[in-house]
Protein backbone atom coordinates (compact mmCIF):
# COMPACT_ATOMS: atom_id res chain seq x y z
CA UNK A 1 0.00 0.00 0.00
CA UNK A 2 1.26 3.47 -0.88
CA UNK A 3 0.66 6.24 1.62
CA UNK A 4 -0.80 9.33 -0.04
CA UNK A 5 -0.88 12.83 1.41
CA UNK A 6 -3.22 15.46 0.01
CA UNK A 7 -2.54 19.18 0.30
CA UNK A 8 -4.55 22.38 -0.18
CA UNK A 9 -7.29 22.04 -2.84
CA UNK A 10 -6.73 18.28 -3.01
CA UNK A 11 -7.45 18.07 0.69
CA UNK A 12 -10.61 20.13 0.20
CA UNK A 13 -11.89 17.95 -2.64
CA UNK A 14 -11.07 14.61 -1.01
CA UNK A 15 -11.95 15.78 2.52
CA UNK A 16 -8.95 13.74 3.65
CA UNK A 17 -5.43 14.61 4.77
CA UNK A 18 -4.06 11.23 3.81
CA UNK A 19 -5.07 7.79 2.69
CA UNK A 20 -3.58 4.45 1.72
CA UNK A 21 -4.07 2.80 -1.62
CA UNK A 22 -2.98 -0.34 -3.46
CA UNK A 23 -1.69 0.71 -6.89
CA UNK A 24 1.17 -0.32 -9.18
CA UNK A 25 1.63 3.08 -10.79
CA UNK A 26 0.76 6.75 -10.30
CA UNK A 27 -1.73 6.42 -13.15
CA UNK A 28 -3.55 3.53 -11.46
CA UNK A 29 -3.51 5.44 -8.18
CA UNK A 30 -5.16 8.47 -9.76
CA UNK A 31 -7.79 6.28 -11.46
CA UNK A 32 -8.64 4.74 -8.11
CA UNK A 33 -8.98 8.22 -6.65
CA UNK A 34 -11.29 9.31 -9.49
CA UNK A 35 -13.50 6.30 -8.65
CA UNK A 36 -13.35 7.12 -4.95
CA UNK A 37 -13.64 10.92 -4.97
CA UNK A 38 -15.58 11.45 -8.20
CA UNK A 39 -15.81 14.11 -10.91
CA UNK A 40 -14.41 16.96 -8.85
CA UNK A 41 -11.16 15.10 -8.37
CA UNK A 42 -11.04 14.06 -12.02
CA UNK A 43 -11.49 17.68 -13.16
CA UNK A 44 -8.68 18.80 -10.86
CA UNK A 45 -6.25 16.18 -12.09
CA UNK A 46 -6.80 15.39 -15.77
CA UNK A 47 -6.92 17.50 -18.91
CA UNK A 48 -10.09 17.11 -20.94
CA UNK A 49 -8.63 15.49 -24.00
CA UNK A 50 -10.00 15.12 -27.50
CA UNK A 51 -9.08 11.46 -27.40
CA UNK A 52 -10.51 10.24 -24.10
CA UNK A 53 -8.25 7.19 -23.97
CA UNK A 54 -5.15 9.30 -23.61
CA UNK A 55 -4.83 10.73 -20.14
CA UNK A 56 -2.93 13.93 -19.59
CA UNK A 57 -2.11 15.35 -16.21
CA UNK A 58 -3.08 18.97 -15.74
CA UNK A 59 -0.31 21.48 -14.99
CA UNK A 60 -2.28 22.10 -11.83
CA UNK A 61 -1.18 18.81 -10.26
CA UNK A 62 2.22 18.34 -8.68
CA UNK A 63 3.10 14.84 -7.51
CA UNK A 64 6.11 13.71 -5.52
CA UNK A 65 6.91 10.05 -4.94
CA UNK A 66 9.30 9.61 -2.01
CA UNK A 67 10.31 13.26 -2.38
CA UNK A 68 10.99 13.09 -6.13
CA UNK A 69 8.83 14.90 -8.65
CA UNK A 70 7.28 12.38 -11.08
CA UNK A 71 8.40 14.69 -13.93
CA UNK A 72 11.92 13.38 -13.19
CA UNK A 73 10.76 9.79 -12.79
CA UNK A 74 8.41 8.11 -15.25
CA UNK A 75 5.58 10.67 -15.07
CA UNK A 76 2.16 8.91 -14.93
CA UNK A 77 3.87 5.56 -15.50
CA UNK A 78 6.00 5.95 -12.35
CA UNK A 79 5.91 2.61 -10.54
CA UNK A 80 4.73 2.42 -6.96
CA UNK A 81 5.70 -0.11 -4.34
CA UNK A 82 4.71 -0.83 -0.78
CA UNK A 83 5.29 1.99 1.70
CA UNK A 84 6.00 4.60 -0.98
CA UNK A 85 4.96 8.06 0.10
CA UNK A 86 3.05 10.08 -2.47
CA UNK A 87 2.36 13.80 -2.02
CA UNK A 88 -0.25 15.51 -4.22
CA UNK A 89 -0.45 19.32 -4.18
CA UNK A 90 -1.27 22.29 -6.40
CA UNK A 91 1.37 24.71 -7.66
CA UNK A 92 1.79 27.65 -5.31
CA UNK A 93 3.80 30.62 -6.51
CA UNK A 94 2.60 33.76 -4.78
CA UNK A 95 4.54 35.97 -2.46
Partner 1 sequence: MLTDRDMERYDRQILLDHIGRKGQEKLKKARVAIVGAGGLGTAASLYLAAAGIGKMTIIDCQVPELSNLNRQVLHWEEDVAMTNKAESIKEKLSSLNSDIQIEAITEKITTENIDVLKDATIIVDCLDNFSTRYSLNEFCVKNQKPLVHAAVEGFYGQLTTIIPSKTPCLKCIFPKMTDKEIFPIIGVTTGLFGALEANEVIKLITDAGEVLAGKLLFYDLLSNSFDIIEIKKNEKCEVCANI
Binding site for partner 1 (CB under 8 A): 5, 7-8, 11-12, 17, 59, 62, 64, 66-69, 71-72, 85, 87, 89-95
**CA nearest to 7, candidates 75, 85, 71, 72:** 85
Q: Could you tell me if 11 and 92 are in contact, meaning their C-beta atoms sit under 8 angstroms apart?
A: no
Please say which residue, 17 or 35, places its beta carbon nearer to partner 1: 17
Least Å distance, CB 58 to partner 1, is 11
Please say which residue, 52 or 94, places its beta carbon nearer to partner 1: 94
CA distance linking residue 69 with residue 58, whole number of Å: 14
Amino acid sequence: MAKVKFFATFREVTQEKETEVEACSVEELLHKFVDKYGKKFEKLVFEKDEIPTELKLRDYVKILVNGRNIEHLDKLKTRLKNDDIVAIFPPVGGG
